[in-house]
């Protein structure tokens, strides 16, 4: 059985004429992505969360439910992860993203995820109430979750994912 949690490290994209070490680093990081998303024993989900406490408790909860989790902590990391998943043709089963990230808004990564994986469940986590975010999420069929998250609040999203082995 594969490990249920990993902290994903984005694959760096060297500039033209980049160093040879960048290629080796990219291969190493690509094999980490393959390790998490390539094995199909359990569903694999992406979590995008910048808060230092939430990702660990959230991934622990998901791990206890039998999911494999890859964590990105910024829009940039999440976009690179999606790019790598697409390039490597690896499946992902769902996305859970925070609305406010250190380098932008989670809606950017949610849109890209839905463009690449239109039939997969996506959810956005928010602090407080904002009608515009609620309307946006509803229009895109994205589940809106309020922080702090509790397992019962995750249930509608978890029920849309494949059942872990």
Strands 94-98 and 44-48: parallel
Q: What is the pLDDT of residue 6?
A: 42
Q: What is the pLDDT of residue 45?
A: 92
**C-beta of residue 37 within 8 angstroms of C-beta of residue 90:** yes
What are the Cα distances from residue 124, in Å, to 74, 146, 147?
A: 14, 8, 10
Give the chain's length.
165
Q: Which two tokens stand for residue 90?
A: 């690896």
What is the residue-level pLDDT of the chain in tens, covering all 165 positions?
Answer: 333 334 444 444 333 333 333 444 444 455 666 666 655 678 889 999 988 666 678 888 888 888 888 889 999 999 999 888 888 877 789 999 999 999 999 999 999 999 988 999 999 999 888 899 999 999 999 999 998 887 788 889 989 988 876
List the domains of the chain with CATH numbers.
Answer: 5-158 (3.40.50.2300)
């Amino acid at each position: 059985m594969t490990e249920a949690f990993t902290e994903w490290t984005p694959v760096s994209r060297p500039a033209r004429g980049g160093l040879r070490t960048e290629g080796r680093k990219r291969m190493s990081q690509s094999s980490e992505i393959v390790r998490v998303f390539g094995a199909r024993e359990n569903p694999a989900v992406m979590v995008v969360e910048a808060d230092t406490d939430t990702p660990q408790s959230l991934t622990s909860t998901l791990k206890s439910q039998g999911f494999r989790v890859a964590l990105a902590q910024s829009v940039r990391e999440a976009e690179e992860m999606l790019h790598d998943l697409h390039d490597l043709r690896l499946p992902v089963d769902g996305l859970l993203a925070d609305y406010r990230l250190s380098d932008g808004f989670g809606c950017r990564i949610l849109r890209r995820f839905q463009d690449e994986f239109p039939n997969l469940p996506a959810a956005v986590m928010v602090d407080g109430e904002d009608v515009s975010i609620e309307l946006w999420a509803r229009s895109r069929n994205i589940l809106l979750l309020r922080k702090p998250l509790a397992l019962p609040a995750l249930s509608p999203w978890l029920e849309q994912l494949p059942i872990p082995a």
